[in-house]
Amino acid sequence: MNSPPANDEIPGPSIWVIDRCAGEGTYERLGDARRLADAFGERVGVIVAEGDAEQLIAQGADLVVAVTPSALGPASFASAVRETLCGRRVRLVYSNHAPEGRALAARWGVQSDAVLVSPALLVRRRDAELVITGLDHSGRRARAVVVTPGRSAVVTLRDGVGQALRADPARRGRIDALTATVQPEPVVVRRRIPVDPASADIRQVRRLVAGGRGVGSAEGFEQLRHIARLLGAGVAASRVAVDLGWIEHERQVGQTGRTVRPDLYLACGISGATHHLEGMSQSAHIIAINVDPEAPIFRHAHLGLVADLVETLNQLEQALTDERRE
């Protein structure tokens, strides 16, 4: 494996994002890394085998180490990460919370004697320390982990937890190529089976169809599930719908539920109480359907429709079904 440039030849990133195949979650973690680095007055590095290096720079990276060949397995990429980071002053490493990312984070944590927090929710600066908010094994209780100066840390973040920055084409950074030696892979991927949005954690789904009191009943949520299947989406709900027993609690969005940031959030019969808005207002596109023109949800929706919910959903379902047949 070709060694990366010596430390005195680069601007010295101390906060890193590692992801073999860059995706939306990579940019979210990069956004968090950029904000933290700015708080410390430091730089951000990214290590990827598959990804757009220029785009990574535009969204916050100061240095991108592009590992080749691109079709590397996890073990080969982990070896490239070790070769890149060994000997550097590393304050923090972000990895994804998928199985491969957790394994990579754990491996680097052991090799560097770093503090490992997996999964984490947030990393912030407190004077010279890092304060990491992490979840326990149940995923329901948060804990604060303090990392003192001189120690490094590695965290995993689920997709949807971080927040990407808007791309700035004028940003400048450096791209280094690193040719890796292919290592024996203990696991060979034969086929990837996509997650079923109907059963996936709502925080991991890119489209959500959410229902509130206006849905009217548990039977109304069955129609939402059918529309969600046609859209390739998951189903979510407001607290009222959960309290009425129409849908399970793990589908609840809001202050006492889960925070989501999907690409599409279709709010059906949801008035938009403050505690619900806190859980979904960062969605990329919010479409709201409600009979009440004064519903607070409309102040946050990118597209609002004041209409009878049942009639509108029937028309939507028919349109999606016809499109599927074509």
Q: Which candidate, 267, 326, 288, 46, places its Cα nearest to that of 173? A: 46
Helix, strand or coil, per DSSP, at residue 179: strand
Please state whether beta strands 44-50 and 63-68 pair in parallel, antiparallel, or not at all (unpaired): parallel
Helical spans, DSSP H, in the chain:
24-40, 53-58, 74-85, 99-112, 218-231, 239-243, 274-280, 309-325
Treating both helix axes as pointing N-terminal to C-terminal, what angle do 99-112 and 74-85 enclose, rounded to 10 degrees?
A: 30
CATH code given to domain 202-325? 3.40.50.1220
Look up the pTM and report it: 0.63
Return the domain boundaries, the chain: 7-179, 202-325
Q: Is 254 left (phi over 0), alpha (psi -120 to 50) or beta?
A: left
Q: How far apart (Å, rounded) are the C-alpha atoms in residues 213 and 270?
A: 6
Residue with tokens 């094994």: 137
Examine domains 7-179 and 202-325 and report if their fold is the same: yes
What sign does the dihedral 155-158-161-162 (CA atoms) show?
positive
In this structure, CATH architecture of domain 7-179: 3-Layer(aba) Sandwich (3.40)
What's the count of helices (H) and strands (E) in the chain, helices before strands? 8, 15
The DSSP symbol for 128 reads T
Question: Helices 218-231 and 309-325 meet at what angle, rounded to 10?
Answer: 30
> How would you write the pLDDT of the chain (326 residues) with one tens digit per residue?
444 444 334 448 999 999 999 999 999 999 999 999 999 999 999 999 999 999 999 999 999 999 998 778 888 999 999 999 998 999 999 999 999 999 999 999 999 999 999 999 999 999 999 999 998 776 678 899 999 998 999 999 998 889 999 999 999 999 999 998 888 777 767 787 777 888 899 998 999 999 999 999 999 999 999 999 999 999 999 999 999 999 999 999 998 899 999 999 999 999 999 999 999 998 999 999 999 999 999 999 999 999 999 999 999 999 999 888 87
Q: Which two tokens stand for residue 19?
A: 């992801």
Q: What six digits make up the tokens of 237?
A: 């709900």
The whole-number pLDDT of residue 7 equals 39
Contact 133, 120 (CB under 8 A): yes
In the chain, % helix, strand, coil (3-state, to 5) comes to: 35, 25, 40
Question: What is the phi-psi region of residue 56: left when phi exceeds 0, alpha when psi lies from -120 to 50, beta otherwise?
Answer: alpha
Contacts (Cβ under 8 Å, ≥6 apart) of 91: 14, 15, 40, 42, 130, 152, 153
